[in-house]
Amino acid sequence: MIEVENLVKRYGGHLAVDHLSFTVEKGCVCGFLGPNGAGKSTTMNMMTGYLAPTEGEVRVDGHSVTQDPAGAKACIGYLPEQPPLYVDMTVREYLEFAAGLKRIPGGERAAQLDRILEMTRTADVSGRLIRNLSKGYRQRVGLAQALIGFPHILILDEPTVGLDPKQILEIRALIRELAQEHTVILSSHILSEVQEVCDHIFIIHHGRLVAQGTPAQLERELAGTPAITLLLKAAPEEGRVLLSGVPGVAEVAPLPCGEAGAALLRLTPAEGADPREAVFRACAGADLPILEMRRESLSLEQIFLELTSDASAAGQAGGRRRPFGRRDSAEPEPEPAPAPETAITKHGEEAEP
């Protein structure tokens, strides 16, 4: 559905997007995850044709964004981070105007807009001036304009930024509904949002793709060999000596323990080893009851922080294992200003609907 090949964007001496390549399959909900300034918005602007790449190519449903921009844009509905709204129009007037810009035939507009207003739950405010709507409703109106023409692909740049928790839940619910009929690509720096909504995640840092996969794949592949925490009915030194000789255990470290007569130990397995069964047999053979055994694992949040840490390159140089898809990063630079918007102005002051 979308193929991004060796995509590069330079602003003078600043490399904002650094040779990105990936594919988005039809029907997938994909998340671009990265810290502020990672290059997410710049990449999306190039994918939608709002910004020309310095190098590389984007193909949307077989249409080259640079060679056949009209064909590519016809397949895409785009919601920028700041929805391009005319605040002195009513919701219906604005969508009529946007439909004209997208060259929707006059005979089809009324029925199409009625359906879109229903899909985005904005029919009840269709006669209201946009300037009098809350930010949550303005975001829905922006989503409604992206749906005009019913494109196969929706590209949403930070769709919940600046919303309150209730509005965030409402927008997420809308995205999940739309994903049943559209391929959706959204950018975010909110981990819970991407994890909840997306089937596939691309993690971007300093304009580079550092990892990709489903949330479960990322947690499994990037977490490495998890440590084991063991609560043992034994003296700490007794437990440490016993378990240090267990096959597959590389290191045993005592931890503070508030339970009398017990030792809390952290076991670091050898690379690729799972010594839990051997630990159990050793403790049983020594008549030292195991009160608790827990296998630690990295959450997606911890993985994200590790992959986007500027100290990660130093860690790799020190011999740490590099997760799949990871690349060395340059020093951080601020992301350039977003591409200029269309003639449609930004939203004005907010007021509750």
Name the nearest CA neighbour of 300 among 118, 31, 50, 14: 31
Instruction: Tell me the H-state helices in the chain.
Output: 40-47, 69-73, 91-101, 106-119, 135-147, 165-178, 191-197, 215-222, 236-244, 276-285, 300-307, 312-317
2-221: CATH topology is: Rossmann fold (3.40.50)
Asked whether this chain's domains 2-221 and 228-295 adopt the same fold, the reply is no
Q: Is pTM beyond 0.85 here?
A: no
Burial label for 139, CB within 10 Å (0-12, 13-18, 19+), is buried
Delimit the domains of the chain by residue range.
Answer: 2-221, 228-295
In CATH, which of 3.30.70, 2.40.50, 3.30.1490, 2.60.40 is domain 228-295?
A: 3.30.70
What tens-digit pLDDT sequence spans the chain (353 residues)?
A: 899 999 999 998 899 999 999 999 888 999 988 888 888 889 999 999 889 999 999 999 889 999 998 999 999 999 998 888 999 999 999 999 999 999 999 899 999 999 999 999 999 999 999 999 999 999 999 999 999 999 999 999 999 888 888 988 888 889 989 888 899 999 887 777 888 889 899 989 999 998 898 887 877 766 667 889 999 999 999 999 999 999 999 999 999 998 999 999 999 999 878 899 999 999 999 999 999 999 876 666 777 777 777 655 444 333 333 333 333 333 344 444 443 333 333 333 444 44
Q: Are 243 and 269 in contact (CB under 8 A)?
A: no
Closest Cα partner for 282 from 270, 290, 294?
290
